[in-house]
Structure 1
Amino acid sequence: MQPPTFSRLLGLDCLRALAISLVLVSHITFLLFPDSTSTLIDGFRILGAIGVDLFFVLSGYLIGGILLKIINTDDLKWSALFKFWKRRWLRTLPNYFLVLCLNIIVAFLVGILIPKELFQYSLFIQNFSWGHPDFFTEAWSLSIEEYAYLLLPFLIFFLIISFKNKNKPFLFLLSTVIVIMVLTGLKLSYNFNASVENYHDWSLSFRKVVIYRMDSIYYGFIAVFFMKKFPTYFEYNKNIFLIAGLVVFAVLHVIIYVFNLLPQSHLWFYVLVYLQMVAFSLMLLFPYFLHLRRTIFGKKIVEFISTRSYAIYLVNYSLVLLNIELLVNLKVLGPIEKTLIVLLFLFVTTVVSNVIYLYFERPILKLRDRRFPR
């Protein structure tokens, strides 16, 4: 028996394509302007962080939606949670370990030192409560996602199974709020005890650390809860939410620029306000994108980028960009040569990602759907 097929949602493809495009634009600046630290270039580089935040919120929205469907079954059992985890692991782990192995092989070939913390990558603890090692740096976000998939779903199932015949959606929301509050307590501890000298220090010791960032995914749980509860309201006001999200995002960064808010001088802002407001502004975009109905120009390209986005994210920086920087002295190249390097970067990233998707990721997903159907 063949597993049922599911049609793709254009809005989700657009959000995934947007997220990975922001990451690529950010990384391209390191090829075009290797020595530049101007405000404009720094702004483009921050887009990569925004792209990852969009992936986080989108992941939370999708996972939260799946959990809402699961918990509404009449006789909820722990086996449903185990099946959820198995589907998640078959979605995320194979690509992760494949690219980790490729990074190790390339490191041996080019003479890069393998970090002593390598064993931690197998348990996703290399950045659990400390900075991520300088190896396969994209892995920091995967650690956050894997632990986010464990913590809150377990609490949701525990509360619902423990309090039978109670309001399941309410317990879903309550669990989410409780976990976010606990994680905020950890952020407060960081704020009062940490000392950073620049954005890089803050990013390494806070933005890319599991225990401080899981809430970025859980904001997606809140978004899906309210959008499922009040679907007509959000569809009717989708354009207003879109404008509001763009305004919030723009105003937030204008305030940072005008008042020169830096992590070393306004740590509280970057710990307790900035990332939360970024996630909130991104959430406001969802009603518009998720209610896209008409075909857009370049739909096939958007779908291509979306389906390969996970592979693109894993390979574009450590496997492709860093090795280009290792082989080519970008500082001596002119504009034409740098443009060609960028095209090479995009071409190699696309080819490698496409091969991984077609001959590794997609077959595993088909196997997953046969073994553990929705």
Structure 2
Amino acid sequence: MFINRIKEFVVHTFMIKIDSNRIFGLDLLRFFAISFVVVSHGLHYLPYADFFLNFMLDGVTLFFVLSGFLIGGILIEILNRTKFDRQELLNFWVRRWCRTLPAYFLVLLVLLILETLFTPDFSIYNGIRYFLFIQNFASPHPEFFAEAWSLSIEEWFYLLIPVFLYGLIYIVKREVKTSVLIVIISIILFTTLFRLYRYSICGTPPDLNSWDLNFRKQVITRLDSLMYGVLGAYIKYYYSEIWNARKRIVFYFGLALILLSQLSLIELISDRNSLFFSVFSFSLMSVGTLFLLPFLSSYKATPYKILKPVTYISLISYSMYLVNLTFIQTWVIGQMFVYPHVFRYFISSAYIVFAMYLFLCFIISFFLYKYFEIPTTRLRDKLVVKPKKEA
């Protein structure tokens, strides 16, 4: 009886309701994206970390393109279904911010408290910029909460794209289809040309970290990755015949482009005297990911034993992104090593530490998702203002 109660408690605690309408192909892409991010962040625990890094794709770019595809699809549907007035614009922001901001602000506040209490000379001012997502708009991202760089790019995407579309449709008076295409092309061109301009005035980055901070991790240099996803949503909505044509061939071609991008980066990491490395490597990876989407966005059928773990990781991927690096590695595992006499068995094996890191990522992310993300996301239904019915 007691054992049955324990089983019921465990099942209830770790049960997540999975929507039957979820698209497994997109969950699979999200699963691989977060896996590459989490594993690559933890490889430094292992011997031969540099060798294993060669096999880690840029999971953040996968996320960017997927996010642009999903959010772009939502925006295009709204623009074609309703009058995209100021209230609809506000509703869009409320829905996105209720999904992303509460968990982010929670983790940010926890990290700020920890840094203030235990890190000498830490200035609380350093954290203020993170609430406004301006810490890496056009300058290198600070060391604090290092993984927040990509969310900053996402949030500026949520903010700017609807504003540009609203301006073109209601101020310039362009039709929806034309407006969306103008915004897509304009931002892809601007961002790519800005990287080219920065490369022309700064030259070759002196080291990999400089390239990472000045080209890879700034809002103004990476918005185009999301726009490739929006381009996918545009083609799917307005040119469905093209989108659905030869999806498997396009998928394999996308994989080839991603692998080509990875091989090119591996070759160029040791010699960064390359325009491709600083300017066009992001574009190639984004286009390759875009080509995966026609097939993955229609792929639903899969064995349940595979579907469940992939979907679970997909669902908690945002929480995993928020906690895997600074919170878990710096504060949870990092503080364990302060007391080596207690954790000598973990310290004795790098593989055990790495396994512990992965386990903590899953457990902490799971509880953050189920008991904080889900409840706060539901708030958006209360905050969204529904249009009044005409009499």
- TM value normalised by structure 2: 0.85
2:37 to 5, 23, 30: 23
SS of 1:298's partner is helix
How many angstroms does 1:170 deviate by? 2.1
Shift of 1:163: 4.6
For residues 296-328 of structure 1, the C-alpha deviation after alignment (integer angstroms, 9 at most, x for no partner) is 342111121111110010001101122324543
Give the aligned partner of residue 299 of structure 1.
307
Partner of residue 104, structure 2: 96
Contact 1:315/1:349, CA 8 A, preserved across alignment:
yes
Are the aligned partners of 2:187 and 2:223 in contact in 1 as well (CA < 8 Å)?
no
1:66/1:6 CA distance change after superposition, 3 Å: farther
> Aligned to 1:361, which of 365, 373, 377?
373
Structure 1 match to 2:11: none
| Deviation per residue, 1:248-301 (Å, 9 max, x gap) | 12223334445x4657411x2123210000001111111121111312342111
How many residues align structurally? 360
**Equivalent position amino acid for 2:249 in 1:** I
2:25: which partner in 1?
Answer: 11
Paired with 1:171 and 1:284, the residues of 2 have a C-alpha distance of: 23
State the AA in 2 paired with 1:193: I
* Separation in structure 1 between the aligned mates of residue 202 and residue 364 of structure 2, nearest angstrom: 40
Write out per-residue CA displacement over residues 189-231 of structure 1, whole angstroms, 9 at most, x where no aligned residue: 2111224211111101221111111111111111111122233
CA distance in 2: counterparts of 1:314 and 1:333, whole angstroms: 28
Separation of aligned partners in 1, 2:84 and 2:364: 41
- 1:346 is aligned to 2:346: no
Any residues of structure 2 matched to 1:71-150 within 5 Å, and which?
A: 71-73=79-81, 75-108=83-116, 110-111=118-119, 113-115=121-123, 116-150=125-159
- The within-5 A match list for 1:269-308 is 269-296=276-303, 297-308=305-316
Equivalent residue, structure 2, for 1:215 = 224
How far residue 149 of structure 1 moved from its aligned partner, in angstroms, is: 1.3
SS in 1 for 2:378: helix
Using the size of structure 1 for normalisation, the TM-score is 0.88
Deviation string, structure 1 residues 38-62 (Cα, Å, up to 9, x no partner): 4x23314x53xx1111111111001
Does residue 317 in structure 1 map to residue 329 in structure 2?
no
Distance 1:241 1:30 in 2: 35
Structure 2 unaligned segments of length 5 or more: list them.
1-18, 387-391
Residues 112 and 249 of structure 1: is their aligned pair in 2 closer, same or farther, counting only changes over 3 Å?
Answer: farther
Aligned equivalents of 2:49 and 2:32: distance in 1? 25
Matched, 1:43 2:54: yes
What one-letter code is carried by the residue in structure 2 that aligns with 1:102?
A: V
Counterpart Cα distance in 2 of 1:154 and 1:262: 41
Contact 1:249–1:281, Cα closer than 8 Å, also in 2: yes
Q: Name the aligned partner's letter for residue 351 of structure 2.
A: T
Aligned to 2:379, the other structure's residue is in SS state helix
**Alpha-carbon distance in 2 for matches of 1:244, 1:169:** 27
1:70 aligns with 2:78: yes
Q: 1:299 to 1:113 in 2, by over 3 A?
A: farther
* CA distance in structure 2 between the aligned counterparts of 1:225 and 1:347, rounded to whole angstroms: 39
Write the letter of the residue equivalent to 2:287.
F
Q: How does 1:98-247 map to 2 (within 5 A)?
A: 98-108=106-116, 110-111=118-119, 113-115=121-123, 116-164=125-173, 166-195=174-203, 196-247=205-256
The farther-off stretch of 56-65 and 222-231 is 222-231
Is the deviation greater in 140-149 or in 181-190? 181-190
Q: What CA deviation, in whole Å up to 9, does each residue of 1:339-369 have, x standing for no partner? A: 2212211222222111211111100111213
> Offset of 1:132 from its aligned partner?
0.8
Identify unmatched segments of 5+ residues in structure 1: none
Shift in Å, 1:110: 4.3
The amino acid that maps onto 1:85 is W
Q: Deviations over 1:112-171 (max 9, x none)?
A: 65354221111111111111111111111111111111222211111111354x531222
Q: CA RMSD in A?
A: 2.5
Q: Which amino acid is 1:41 matched to?
A: F
